[in-house]
Amino acid sequence: MSDNAAVVEAVHEALSHVNDPEIRRPITELGMVDTVTVEGGRLSLTILLTVAGCPMRDTLQRDIAAAVDAVDGVEELALEFGVMTEQQRADLQVKLRGKAGAEPVIPFNLPESRTRVFAIASGKGGVGKSSMTVNLAAALAAKGLSVGVADADIYGHSIPRMLGVEGAPTQVEDMIMPPQAHGMKVISIGMFTPGNTAVVWRGPMLHRALQQFLADVYWGELDVLLLDLPPGTGDIAISVAQLLPTAELVVVTTPQQAAAEVAERAGAIVTQTHQKLAGVVENMSWMELPDGSHIEPFGSGGGKVVAEALTRDVGAEVPLLGQVPLDPKLREGGDAGMPLVLSDPDCEASRAIRAIADQLAVRKVSLAGKQLGLSPV
C-alpha cells in the first residue's frame, strides 16, 4: 500500500468518528464523505451536506478539522462542502427511515423502542408546566441521556423561547431534522409560523400537527421524549393517548386547593385512555425569604392531595415526585432561554427538579433480538 493510500485509509477511519450534528450518526455511514485525496501532505476533502445552507455546517467543519488533524501524514486540509443530490437524499431517507414512500411510523410505538415518553400535563394554565418540561428535559440531558422535547401546546407554544432555540428545522425529503438546544432535540409549531402569529386550528389539524411531530421528525435514538401538553383534557390530550398509548403522564399542580382539583381531573383522563401516570409534581410549593425563612403563598398540600386522589381513581400508586419551590430565577431562565438547572444547578429549585428527573431517568430495556443465555436441558 502506498503512503498516500495509507493516509486516505486513516482519514476515513478518523471521519468514521465524526457524527452529523443533527442525525448523530457517523458521516461515513450517511454517505456524506464524497472525495478524499492526499498529495504531498495536502488533504482534499469534499463533504456532502443534506441541504444547501445546512445550519450545522460550522459544527461539521470544526469536528472534521479536529479529526483529521490527528492523522499522520496530513499537513494541510482543503475542505469543501457540496450538497447531496435528490437521489442521495432519498437514499439517506431509506437508510434512516426504511422504504421510500412508506407511511411514516411513530418510532416510539415500535416494540424495540427503548424511549420513555412523558407527557407533562396540567389541569389549568399558569402552574409552571412548561417551565417544568424544559428544566426536567435539561436535567435529564445533563445526566447523559439523549433527550427530545416536543411542544404539543400548539396554541400556546413557548418551548423555543424557554430553551433558546433560534435555528429552524431542516427538511430532508420527507424528514424533518429538528434543531437542538442544550444538547436536546426540539420541535414546536412556533418554528413553522412567522413571528408571533396565532395558530387558529380545529381538532383535526391539531392531531395532524402532533402526528407529524412524532412521525415525520427524525428523533434518532432517544432515551427520553418529553411532550409539553396544553392545559386540560382537550383535543391534544386525546390525540396523545391515540398516537402514543404508552406515554406516561406527569401532572403538574400548585399547592392551592382549586388548582389541585383541576389537576386531578387532568390526571384522571388515564382512566379512560388507559395510560400510565408517572406521578405528580407540586410547583411553587414555597418561597424562601432573604432571612432564610419560608412562606407558602399558594397554601400547602395540593400535590399530596392530587397524588392520593389519583391513586384512588386509578387503583395504583401515583407518587408525589417532588415539590419545587417558587424561585424568580426559574422565570428569568425561561425568558432568557437558559433552564435554571443549567444556570444555577445548586439552588433549591434546581435540586428539587433534578431529584424528580432522577425518578424519571430509568430507561426501558428491550429484550428484542437479545440472547437470554438459555439452553435446552
Please enumerate in sequence order all residues whose Cβ is within 8 A of that of 273, keeping only pairs 6 or more positions apart, or say none. 238, 241, 245
Q: Name the grid cell of 133.
A: 418540561
Please enumerate in sequence order all residues whose Cβ is within 8 A of that of 2, keeping only pairs 6 or more positions apart, or say none. none
**Residue where the block lists cell 479536529:** 66
Query: What is the DSSP secondary-structure string of 173-216?
Result: TTEEE--EETTEEEEEGGGTSSTTPPP---HHHHHHHHHHHHHT
For 355, phi and psi rounded to 5 degrees?
-65, -35
Domains parsed from the chain with CATH numbers: 3-97 (3.30.300.130), 112-360 (3.40.50.300)
Q: Alpha carbon of 92 to those of 30, 51, 345: distances in Å?
A: 7, 12, 39
Which tens digit of pLDDT belongs to each residue from 298-328? 888 899 999 999 999 889 899 999 999 999 9
The H or E element spanning position 134 is helix 129-142
Instruction: Give the model's confidence band at 2: pLDDT under 50 very low, under 70 low, under 90 confident, else very high.
Output: low
Q: What is the pTM of this model?
A: 0.80
Is 274's pLDDT higher than 60? yes
Which tens digit of pLDDT belongs to each residue from 97-125? 765 555 678 999 988 899 999 999 998 88
Taking residue 181's Cβ as centre, other Cβ atoms within 10 Å add up to 24
